Structure 1
């Protein structure tokens, strides 16, 4: 069957890949690899490392606008005291990530309710705006059945606890 260039362009637009209408390497990587095309330029990143003045300057020089930081995780990855001020001082916009579980069994409706409370409390502890977005991560290779039995109930519980 012939590949429809309009559908390829639609996919490329959705995933911020150069719209060529042709299936090129960047399109294949965006389709088949979870990290996509790592050589593709973006305006957002996330990191477990503290955003210092030097890091912020590098991000700004490379045209980044948004930086994601973890609400929990201890010294390994958690946002540090005063770091939000550094991010704002350099004109960057933060977004928050909550990630605790790495196994399918972790993701239950009960855990979703607990994580919603933990994430909200952590965000409040960093004086995040009340309407700040918190992205909840699922960091395991979920199969279709896992999404139905674990991931969706987890996110439904988060949504019922703290909203969109």
Structure 2
């Protein structure tokens, strides 16, 4: 014979709904850490390339590749750390609903960005045309604008 189901009181239901909306009291910093790391690392890469344009930095091709790949690898390490930290803390500590919605919007933007990278890479490789990559910056701008619009509203 099965156990009799426990009846919930209205207070239990309200407490459950409050926990969904409010989440944990602390604000998750994962998104902020990832954006800070991305901004600092890729900002440094832009300065590196600017130094190359003006002739201040002159490195062999392999060293240039190591710098660029190293910056991306460092960012991926920060991103991996942030993802693992989030998973270790569990779903209960993901913050209030607004914060989770904002994280979802930026995560979706990142996934769309990854899909665009794959599409542009395949197209550029197939057509042997580097000019295709010039459209990529405009797409990233549009995706980021949409994500920040969600954050603003």
TM-score (norm 1): 0.29
Name the structure with the higher helix share.
Answer: 2
Larger CA Rg, structure 1 vs 2: 2
Higher strand share: 1
